[in-house]
Structure formats: structure tokens, C-alpha cells
Amino acid sequence: MMEPQKEHILLVESDPQISDAIAQQILRPLGYQVDVIESASLVFKDIYTISPDLIITNLHLPEISGKDLMIALTAQGIDIPVIVITPKGHESDALQAFRLGATNFLTYPIREAEVVSVVEDTITRIRKRNELDNYSHQLDHVNAEIEQRIHDYAEIFSIGKLVPSSASQQSLYDKLIYAAVQITRADSAWLLILELTPGKFILRACSDNEGHLQSMLHLPYENSLSALVAASSQAVSIHGDSVKRFNLDQVESVMVVPIKHEQKVIGMIAVERKIPQPFNSNQKNLLEMIADYATILIDNFSRFQNLEQKLIHLQQMCIYSTIDSDLINDLLFQIGVELQTRVNHLVENIESLSNLVGRKLNRKQTETVNAIQEDANILINIANSTVNFQQSEKNRKLEKTDLNKIVRDVVTHYQTIAQVDRIIIQLELPPQPTFVAVYASQIIKVIEGLLSNALKHSPPKAQITIRLEKKDSCAIMTVTDQGEGINDKLVESIFEERTSRDRGHVKRFGGIGISLPMMKEIISAHRGKISIDSGNGKGFIVYISLPL
């Protein structure tokens, strides 16, 4: 096995005896390459050709001294270790040389042991310095690679932040192409996406400095290489002469990676170079990562489009539903108004009939007329309730409302109905307003429904009590009647049925009241609570709380 070649030494010495002793008798036998120059002025002529690892120079040279040589080397940026030679007894000259950058020194008369020791020690330090420089260069190279990897991964991960939308689909494709070029150090790239309707791959994006692909954007595109990838579902990377059989213009190296969804090729992304430098395995792995991201993004975009279509459909259905609701409300309003008019005419005609001068009705006729009048009054109340409800629906909005006033107005409206059977409505309100943030029209319907049910199921001459108080940041309302009540086992399920409480056939009209389940829905929507306490023969108590 051959020994490694030793360092190259340049000896600058004008005394032949000293140069012969150092070069010929000591260093060359040890395996060092030694070149001898007699004058310092000749050093700069040959130093770049010789390219020494170490310079040994006498400080006392004719014309240009060794010190001047060291100053000139430093001025020209030549960083080569220097050993100086000085006569014994002139060690102070060596000290000055150290200040100029000398590494070590020798004295003459020359002693072999001293030369070997000083040179070997200096060479050892040179080798260690070279090793450190190599390690430093390697570390710089590794750091550069790590920084590049970080940049590449950051470029790839930035793709994952893209949000699919109809406006950003093209920017998504462009971002994929840009990232592919960056991480593979390619000159250009292109992206194909499979369109199901024509069943062909469409060129959706390209980074093409020459522009020969730009004219084919958004059109079907295929070459023999893309057909190979589509058929094999495998990545392909070729360079040099292998590229020529695929007829790719001005391309010397190309890599194509499939974009797959459920093992089917739905697209592909390709990168190209104008020089025959192959893409390495790391670049292939990174491009495959981009292809995986592309699969997710394209799938998400498809899902997003489907959701958008469903949202548009739901919005349209909501519009249709709103129109239907408005039509129903308008129709009910017109029916209520028409009913009011017709029933009022009916009442007027009945009154005219009963007040005919000179004509008396028998008992049966009188009872019939009174019954018709009573039914007519009920119809008027129904018509009034319908019209009032439709008008309140038009003004529905969440607002700060005095619950005292709402309760008082509802009770005033129902007093006429209560007087028919001499039912007393007792109202207990706090002295100060009770403000709540509600849809007033909905809360009015709840109170009307409670009072309507209480009137329908209360016996004649009974009492209904409505109490309103403030407690723990809530408005608490209690409606109590003296009706028959219901079985306490049915109380828990009463809010689940879309009917009023059933306590037998009720002929008495108590107004148009919504059902208890509807009341619960309204109160819950206002962040309130509703509950019932009842029992057979115990009457019916409803508790409602609303946040103040």
C-alpha cells in the first residue's frame, strides 16, 4: 500500500550550505517535496505554480529580507504557514517575525533534530488546521443542505394552507407548479388534471420560459411520456439520450410523478431541465409529496364544489320557503280581513232583525238569534286574532320590551271573552317595568296561548291569576287556573304533543292559542324555561322564566 504523499515545502535560502543541509540532507529523506529559491523576489513568480503547504525562509536575505517577504505575503492575502531561520543569538529577530505571523523558527548552525522537530510540529498543526477547515466546509455544506431542505419542506407545507374555492382553483394549480420547480431546481414544469367529462388529461398549469406550452393551457394535452405514466401509475425519471425518443423539445432531463386518488391516476406533475443532469432520489421524494398534497387539494376542491352547489340549492329552497311563508301569511291576513267584514255584516243584520219594530220573536227564535250572535262574536274574535297575528309577524325583531305592558295588553284583550262566563282574571305585576330582550310578537303568542287555554278549561265564575316578578336576573311569570287539571303522570310528556291539553270537549271560545310544545320552542329559543304543575282536580299552573 502506497504511503500518502507528504507536504510540499518551499525553502527560501541564499546560503547553499544551509539550503543543502535542510532540503537535501534532512527533509527530502523524510519524504517531503522541497523546492529551493535563493531570493525572496523570486517567490511571487513561482509560488502559485509550486503551491507550497509550508514556507521556510531566512530572515537575513540579500535584497528583500524574510520579514519583507512575510509582509508581502500578508498584503497579497497568501495564507501559508512560515518558519523563519535566524542566526543563533538573534532570537529577538524571530520574535519580531512572530508578530508578523511566523509559525515557528530555526537557528543556525543547523541541527538536524531541531529541523525535524520544528517542521514536524508545524506540519502536524497544518494538518489539524486543514482537517478543521475540511470539517468546517463539510459543516457549511450540511448546513446549506439543511437550510435548503427546510426551504423545500416549507414550500411544500405552504401548499397545505391553500383553501379550495372556485376563485382559487387556478392559483392552487399555479402554486403546485411553482413549488415543484423550487424544490427540484428545475427549469420548467407542467401539471395535467384528468377531466371526467371528456375523459382526457387537461393542461392546467405550466412554468414554461420558452412559452411553447402556454398556448395549450386548459386544452387536452398528452405526450408519449405522460401516456406511459398514466398507464403504469409509476413515476418516471429520465435524462440524456433516453429523453430523445419522447420528442420533448429542448429537454435533456425530465421527471413525471402521478397524482393518484384511490389508486387511480387523476393527474400528473412533471419537471424538466435543459441540461442532462438527472433528478436525484430526494427530489423525487419531494415531488411525490407535492403530488400527495395535490391529491388532497383536488379532492377537497371537488368536495367544496359539491358543498357550494348544495348550499346554493339550500339557499334557493330557503327563498322558496320564505316566499311560501309570505304567501300563507298574506292569504291568512286577507282571510282574516274578509272574515271580519262578513261577520260584522252578519252581526249587523242579526241586530236589525232582532230590533224590528212591531215584531216580536217567540222564545225559540230568541234563543236561536242569541246563539247566532254568540257564534258571530266568536268568529269576530277569531278574525281579529288572525289579523293581529299577521300584522305582528311583519314587525318581528329582537328588541328590549317591557313584559309588564305585554301581559297587561293581552289581559285587556281577553277580558271581553272572560266576561262571557264571568271569569275573573287577576293580574299581579311589579311596580317597575320588567325589561326583556325578546321577539315581542312571539312572546305575545305564548301569553295569549296560556290565557286562551286557561279560559277554555276554567269553569264559570272561576279565577285565573297571572303573576309576574323578578328573581335572580330572571322574569318569572306564573299562570294559574282553577280547571280540572291533568294526571300528574302526563305532565312530563305534555310538551311533546302538538295539541292542547285534553280535558274533554270544550265549547267555550278562549281565543286562538298556540300549543304547549310550540310555547316551549319559543321560550327555549329566548334562553328561557317553561314548566307545568298539575293534577286531577288541582287546576293547572304554568311557570315561565326569561332572562332580564
- Enclosing H/E stretch for 54: strand 54-58
Domain at 8-133: CATH architecture: 3-Layer(aba) Sandwich (3.40)
How does residue 166 score in pLDDT terms, banded at 50, 70 and 90? Answer: very low
Region class of 504: left (phi > 0), else alpha (psi between -120 and 50), else beta: left
Crossing angle of helices 440-457 and 403-420, rounded to 10°? 30
State the pLDDT at residue 501: 46
Listing DSSP states for 213-236 in one string gives TGGGTTSB---HHHHHHHHH-S-E
Q: Render pLDDT for 243-279 as a digit per residue (tens, 0 to 9).
A: 888 777 778 899 999 998 888 888 899 898 988 889 9
| More confidently predicted of 324 and 146 | 146
- Is-contact 293 159, C-beta < 8 A? yes
**DSSP-assigned beta bridge partners for residue 265:** 260
State the pLDDT at residue 392: 58
Rounded average pLDDT over 28-55: 87
Rounded average pLDDT over 90-95: 82
pLDDT value at 511 more than 60 = no
| More confidently predicted of 64 and 3 | 64
Q: Render pLDDT for 444-472 as a digit per residue (tens, 0 to 9).
A: 888 888 888 888 888 888 899 999 998 88
Looking at the chain, the domain(s) classified CATH 3.30.450.40 span: 169-304
State the pLDDT at residue 153: 66
pLDDT value at 532 more than 80 = yes
State the pLDDT at residue 319: 65
Please state, for a pLDDT cut of 70, what percent of the chain lies above it. Answer: 80
- Enclosing H/E stretch for 402: strand 398-402
State the pLDDT at residue 395: 53
- Is-contact 488 508, C-beta < 8 A? no
**Residue with grid cell 286574532, as numbered in its chain:** 385
State the pLDDT at residue 353: 66
- Cα separations (Å) of 124 from 130, 133, 140, 338? 10, 14, 24, 116
State the pLDDT at residue 476: 92
- Is-contact 387 333, C-beta < 8 A? yes
CATH of the domain spanning 395-547: 3.30.565.10
Looking at the chain, the domain(s) classified CATH 3.40.50.2300 span: 8-133
Listing DSSP states for 336-362 in one string gives HHHHHHHHHHHHHHHHHHHT-TT----
| More confidently predicted of 338 and 184 | 184
| More confidently predicted of 114 and 539 | 114
**Residue with grid cell 286562551, as numbered in its chain:** 452
How does residue 324 score in pLDDT terms, banded at 50, 70 and 90? Answer: low
The CATH number of 169-304 is which of 3.50.50.60, 2.60.40.10, 3.30.450.40, 3.40.50.920? 3.30.450.40
pLDDT value at 344 more than 80 = no
- Is-contact 273 187, C-beta < 8 A? yes
pLDDT value at 393 more than 60 = no
State the pLDDT at residue 500: 44
Alpha-carbon span 54 to 127, nearest angstrom: 11
Tell me the pLDDT of the chain averaged across its residues: 80
| More confidently predicted of 363 and 10 | 10
| More confidently predicted of 162 and 525 | 525
Q: Render pLDDT for 487-507 as a digit per residue (tens, 0 to 9).
A: 766 766 777 754 444 444 444
Rounded average pLDDT over 367-386: 70
Looking at the chain, the domain(s) classified CATH 3.30.565.10 span: 395-547
